[in-house]
Amino acid sequence: MKKKDEEIPWYLRSGWSIFFALISPPISYLIIISNLKRMDHETKMDRLFFATVMTSLWSLKFLPHNTFTLFILILCFVLTAFPLFYKFLKK
C-alpha cells in the first residue's frame, strides 16, 4: 500500500483523502471522482467508500424532519446506490 501511495499525487494519498473527507466531504468526493483514472481498483473502492460514507453523514443535516419524507429519500438512495456499487464491484 505504501508503494501505491507514493505513485499517486499527494491529494489522493490515504491520509489526505481521509483528512479532506472529514473536513469537507463534498470537496473530497469531487477530488476522488475527478481522478478515478489515476487509481487502481482497490484504491478507488477504498477512497470512494470512505468519501461516500462521510458525504452521506454530512448531508443528513440538510434532510427534512418529516419521517415519511425521510423514509422516501432513504428508499430512493438505496435503490440507486446499490446497483451502482454492484456495477463497480463486478469489474
Residues 58-81: tens digit of each pLDDT: 887 887 778 888 788 888 888 888
Quick count: other Cβ atoms within 10 Å of Cβ 60?
A: 8
Least confident range from 1-10, 51-60, 76-85: namely 1-10
Q: Is 46 left (phi over 0), alpha (psi -120 to 50) or beta?
A: alpha
CA distance 9 to 34: 13
Instruction: Give the span between the Cα atoms of 28 and 52, in whole angstroms.
Output: 9
Would you say 21 and 51 are in contact if contact means Cβ atoms under 8 Å apart? yes
Helix ranges, the chain (H): 2-7, 14-23, 25-34, 41-59, 67-90
CB of 33 closer than 8 Å to CB of 18: no
Digit-coded pLDDT (tens) for 6-43 = 677 877 788 888 888 889 888 888 888 898 888 888 88
pLDDT at residue 5, as a whole number? 63
